[in-house]
């Protein structure tokens, strides 16, 4: 896997429980805005153009992954 793909997979939007597939989710079934999809912004407030009240909710796997990374980083200090 290339580095770009790895970085994309680590972005919050790509690890949201509302993500459907590709570049769609429950809030943006016709396509997630690029600023969320590329990580330059995080979807934590409802937007007028979205569907429903869906906001970023990270998967448990993603939360656990970053908790482990944080734990290891703190051990090195």
Asked whether the beta carbons of 56 and 13 are under 8 A apart, the reply is yes
CB count, 10 Å around CB of 76?
5
Q: What is the pLDDT of residues 10-27, one digit of tens each?
A: 788 889 999 998 899 999
The count of residues in the chain is 77
Q: What is the pLDDT of residues 50-68, one digit of tens each?
A: 999 999 999 999 889 889 9
| pTM for this predicted structure | 0.76
């Amino acid at each position: 896997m290339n580095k770009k793909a790895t970085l994309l997979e680590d972005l919050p939007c790509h690890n949201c429980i509302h993500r459907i597939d590709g570049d769609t989710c429950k809030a943006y079934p016709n396509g997630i805005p690029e600023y969320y999809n590329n990580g330059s912004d995080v979807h934590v407030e409802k937007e007028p153009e979205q569907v429903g009240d869906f906001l970023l909710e990270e998967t448990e796997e993603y939360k656990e992954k970053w908790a482990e990374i944080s734990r290891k980083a703190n051990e090195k200090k």
